[in-house]
Structure 1
Amino acid sequence: MTKMALKSTATYNIELIRSDLRPDRKTRKASCYRIPNVNAKYEGSPQNDVGMEKAPRKHGTPHPAEKAGVCRSDRNLLTNENQPSWFKEKFTLGHEGCGVVVGLGTDFPQESGFAINDIVAMCPVPGCGSLECEECSNDVPQLCLTGHRSGIGSDGFFSEYCVVDVRALAHVPAGVTPSQAAVATDAVTTAYHAIHRRGQITERDVVFLFGLGGLGFNALQVIQAIGAKVLVSDVKQQNLDEAARIGVKREDIVPVGKSIREWVQENGWAGKISVVADFVGMAQTFDDAQHIGQYARLMFTLPILNQSSLVRQAGRIVCVGTLNHENTVHMKLAIRKRLDIIFSYGGQTKDLREALDLIAKGVLNPMVTDGKLQDFPKVMRDLEAGKVQGRIALLFA
Structure 2
Amino acid sequence: MAKLVRGLGFALVVGCSSPKSTQSDAREPDVAADAAADVAIDVMVDAAIDVPVDVPIDGPSSSPRCAAGATIALDVSPLKITTMARSGSTLYVSTYDPANFGQGTLYTFDLTTHTQTAAPFVTTGILQVGESPGDVFAAEPSAGRIWQLHPGAAPQVLVSDRVDPWVPVADSTHVYWAELTPTSSGRQVVRSAIAGGPVEPLMACQAYQLAIVGQHIYCAGQNGVRRHRTDGTGATEFISYAGISVVFALAAAGTDAVFAPFGAGSTLFRVDSTTTAATAITPISGPRNSDVATSSDYFYLLDLTSAVRRIHRTTAQEELVYSSGGGRPVPQQWVVLWNEHLYFDAQDSQLGGTSYLMHCVD
Q: If each structure's strand is expressed as a fraction of its own residues, which one has the higher value?
A: 2
Say yes or no: TM over 0.5. no
TM-score, length of structure 1 as denominator length: 0.26
The structure showing larger relative contact order (alpha-carbon pairs under 8 Å, at least 6 residues apart) is 2
Bigger CA radius of gyration? 1
